[in-house]
Amino acid sequence: MTAQTVAIDGPAASGKSIVGATVAARLGYRFFDTGAMYRALTWHALRRGIDPHDESALARLAASADVDVHEGRAGASESTCVIIDGADATAHLRDTDVEANVSLVSRVPGVRAALVRIQRALADHGRVVMAGRDIGSVVLPDADLKVYLDASREVRARRRADQLRAANIEPDYDSLMRDLARRDGIDSTRAASPLTAAAGAVIINTDNMTVEQVVERIIEEAT
């Protein structure tokens, strides 16, 4: 029987979004990139002048925010759209200041608790692929299929550099490596829902795999 809920986790730039969206399209499922929600809240906090280190203020903002999440249009640059307190954050999810601060915001326990409730509601009816850092371990611990995508930091930096070039931005490889190292450290050591492969997860090292090869592997596991 085809898995009705597929959880895909992994570190930054491991390919979760493109792989998850492609798997969902192949299965005819909905896809949600939970990272978009943390990015949207980060943008919202910065817009309101909240210090990303102020955990109490961030937790209050997350608890009170009206967060509307839906799938992006086919061919859109973002697979997941987020409207927060009436403002569409989707176009700002990759802003430089959001990139620099999202790991700080997402480590706050109150932020994670508020957004996990929304994420679980999105998955209530099944037929969903959800990607993030703690989907299999926290958000959907009973998911029918749990996948952990891994890749070396060097490969992830090269992939991120390719994404930037595609957007006509000349990347600084050394800066990308430093940023990934910083984000990996924050994500793996945070007190709330640290990044880790969930129990029973299928671990796939994608260093020498194409997106299509990773997708095929997950489809095999799901069906």
Mean of per-residue pLDDT scores for the chain: 94
Q: Which domains does the chain have, with CATH numbers?
A: 5-222 (3.40.50.300)
- What local confidence, expressed as pLDDT, does residue 167 receive? 76
Q: 3-state DSSP helix/strand/coil percent for the chain, to nearest 5?
A: 50, 15, 35
Would the pTM count as exceeding 0.85? Answer: yes
DSSP SS3 for 163 = helix
Residue 206 has pLDDT above 80, yes or no: yes
Mean pLDDT of 18-29: 96
24-70 confidence digits (pLDDT tens): 999 999 999 999 999 999 999 999 999 999 999 999 999 999 999 99
Read off the pLDDT band of 169 (50, 70, 90): confident
What is the average pLDDT across 12-20?
Answer: 93
- pLDDT beyond 90 at 163: no
- Long-range CB pairs of 54-57 (<8 Å, 24+ gap) are 55/108, 55/109, 55/110, 56/110
Scanning the structure block, which residue is given the tokens 């943008």?
43
pLDDT digits (tens, 9 = 90+) for 119-154: 999 999 899 999 999 999 999 999 999 999 999 999
Write down the pLDDT at residue 14: 93
Q: How confident is the model at residue 182 (pLDDT cuts 50, 70, 90)?
A: very high
Does position 76 have pLDDT exceeding 80, yes or no?
A: no
> Amino acid identity of 17?
S
Q: Say whether pLDDT at 168 is over 90.
A: no
